[in-house]
Amino acid sequence: MTSTPTAVALPDIAPAQRGHEGPFGVYVHVPFCFTRCGYCDFNTYTPAELGGANPDAWVAALDKELELAAARLGRRPADTVFVGGGTPSLLGGPRLARVLDQVRKHFGLADGAEVTTEANPESTSPEFFETILAAGYTRVSLGMQSVSPRVLATLDRIHSPGRPVAAAREARAAGFEHLNIDLIYGTPGETDDDLLRSVDAALEAGVDHVSAYSLIVEDGTALARRVRRGELPAPEGDVAAHRYELVDGRLRAAGMDWYEVSNWSRPGAACRHNLGYWNGGRWWGAGPGAHSYDGALRWWNVKHPNTYAQLLERNVLPVAGFEELSDADRHTEDVMLRLRMRDGLALTDLDAEERERAATAIGDGLLHIDGERLVLTDRGRLLADAVVRSLLAG
């Protein structure tokens, strides 16, 4: 017999117990992918793995979760909405329009809200971009990763090298002002020229934002298995640092500056949704496996779309677990997240011992003081995680 899925009940947290609220965002996780990329460990499912789940059932379940979410938090217009995955563009324009309509219905949208969807270039078209723009989306994030065929093959990406640029131009033609392209650097077999051609292609596509991430070999992925078998070399830290410098130099020369260690934009084009995360804002994460945060409590949903839908059919929030954050937890997260940003971290946010450790990092050329704030130097950005650990040590 199939057991009935169960969920974890969230404790009540009084508003006075929550941290500063900041902006409010809604994240929507779309768990569908046509195929699984070899490096990906996200909560995604191919058609063969779904066991009967389908996009229309997911959209119906999402509507119920957002209804229950608004009942818990109260109706609060979303400053930002981000539809990620997975591959949101597999839903098609009309379903993505329904997703945004549901957010409007249950939470509302603040004036000037930023509304982003991720998209795989292969599942987009001029009609797709026209449909979602008309629905109220303001920003598109396209997965390029690389224009090198051999790099794409190593990553198990299925799009053709030229398709992301074509998709970006279609989005521009439809009327999108804000476009992001994602890049991955440090893939085994990648050359400096491969990476620079990818950065140049993103710039030629006319985007105003680029996210670039060093390849991480996650346990349980196909890439990890290939590295373990010796079919591919593991990414090298020194190579990744050099590639990061190449990306940064090329983008800054083209008028894009970093505002977070892995993100560059033209003036006014930073992703406001992600800024909400980094600045300690609140958000509701809807969809299988999505995480939420209300200032004092973090929780996460069950992962499989079928279990997610079954719980919502019973009018139950599909929560798999939660954690209550102490003041010390929130301080740790503030340091971890804010130090990664161009604006840096206020010196007054550190205690006396942390300020002493910051002075050591300044002496080592990893941090500098800008006004009353600590900011990573260019060298410090290459070692951002280590800098954070050094400040919090003890």
C-alpha to C-alpha distances, 377 to 6, 215, 332, 391, nearest whole angstrom: 48, 22, 21, 15
Q: Is there a contact between 339 and 386 (Cβ–Cβ < 8 Å)?
A: no
189: tokens are 């077999």
The per-residue pLDDT for range 157-169, each reduced to its tens digit, is 766 778 999 999 9
pLDDT tens by residue, 219-270: 777 766 876 787 777 777 789 999 999 999 999 999 999 999 999 999 999 9
Report residue 17's pLDDT band, with 50, 70 and 90 as the boundaries.
Answer: very low
Residue 70 structure tokens? 């608004």
| pLDDT score at 317 | 96
Confidence band of 322 (pLDDT split at 50, 70, 90)? very high
338 close to 372: Cβ distance less than 8 angstroms = no
| 3-class DSSP assignment, residue 225 | helix
From the CB of residue 284, how many other CB atoms can be counted at a distance below 10 Å?
26
Q: What is the DSSP string of 354-394?
A: HHHHHHHHHHTTSEEEETTEEEE-HHHHHTHHHHHHHHH--
pLDDT at res. 49: 66
Lowest-confidence segment of 39-48, 187-196, 266-275, 379-388 by average pLDDT: 39-48
Q: How far apart are CA 201 and CA 262, in angstroms?
A: 18
Report strand pairing: 319-324 vs 345-346. Answer: unpaired
What pLDDT is attached to residue 19? 45
Q: Quick check: 2 pLDDT over 60?
A: no
Q: Which of 123, 51, 114 is closest to 83 using CA atoms?
A: 114
CA distances to 48, 147, 242 from 190, in Å? 31, 11, 12
What is the per-residue pLDDT for 225?
A: 80
Token readout for 329 is 């937890």
pLDDT band for position 39 (cuts 50, 70, 90): low
Question: Do residues 158 and 35 make contact, with C-beta atoms less than 8 angstroms apart?
Answer: yes
**Integer-rounded Cα radius of gyration of the chain:** 21
CA distances from 363 to 69, 145, 293 (A): 48, 36, 36
Distance (Å) of CA 280 to CA 64, 292, 355: 27, 12, 21
Is the per-residue pLDDT at 5 higher than 60?
yes
Residues 113-138 have pLDDT tens digits of 999 999 999 999 999 999 999 999 99
Distance (Å, whole) CA 264 – CA 329: 28
Quote the pLDDT of residue 43.
Answer: 65
**What is the value of pTM for the model shown?**
0.92
pLDDT of 41 over the 50 cut = yes
For residue 290, give the nearest of 58, 54, 97 by alpha carbon. Answer: 58
pLDDT at 20: 45
Q: What is the mean pLDDT of residues 367-379?
A: 96
Looking at residue 210, its pLDDT comes to 98
Instruction: State pLDDT tens for residues 53-92.
Output: 688 999 999 999 999 999 998 889 999 999 998 889 999 9
Mean confidence (pLDDT) of the chain: 90
